[in-house]
Structure 1
Amino acid sequence: MTALIWGGAALTILGLTGLVICIVVAARARASGLEGAAMEARLRKLVALNLGALAISALGLMSVVLGVLLG
């Protein structure tokens, strides 16, 4: 069960890193002064990364909880 806990922790950290990258990219897009369709196009690309990072982080947390409950 230790491997499940550590693997889940690694997935969680990977997902959180992805979320931080999303925040940084969105802040840079906002600071660049884009408006309208250009801003929408840039943020639309970011949505997939954001959802993927959130899913990875959630799976990691589920793995950690499962490892703790089974161990």
Structure 2
Amino acid sequence: MTIWDGLIWGGTALTAAGLAALVWCIVTAARAKARGLADDEMRAVMRRVVVVNMAALAGSVFGLMFVVLGIMLGR
């Protein structure tokens, strides 16, 4: 296994973690909507969801960049 294979697998793991966090965001927002929370409570939940969502998207993007770099530089 070369360093480029490690970069590919690390990027894959980072992307998978980002996708799992995105699923968490979807589930949390759906549950909050289904509970019919008050406006202030809904804002607090959504504030946390937006932060996790942005971090998950950034993680997925960086993971995909690592995969592409590993593929391009490894061959």
TM-score range, shorter chain: over 0.9
Task: Output the aligned Cα RMSD.
Answer: 0.9
Aligned length: 71
Following the alignment from structure 2 to structure 1, what is the Cα–Cα distance between the partners of residues 19 and 44?
24
Asked if 1:37 corresponds to 2:40, the answer is: yes
2:71 is matched with 68
C-alpha offsets along residues 17-56 of structure 1, whole Å, 9 cap, x if unaligned?
0000010000000000114222111101111111111111
| Range 37-46 or range 24-33, more displaced | 37-46
Under a length normalisation based on structure 2, what TM-score does the superposition of the two structures give?
0.89
1:54 is matched with 57
Structure 2: where are the runs of 5+ without partners?
none
Asked if 1:14 corresponds to 2:17, the answer is: yes
Following the alignment from structure 1 to structure 2, what is the Cα–Cα distance between the partners of residues 44 and 12?
23
3-state SS of paired residue (1:29): helix
3-state SS of paired residue (1:34): coil
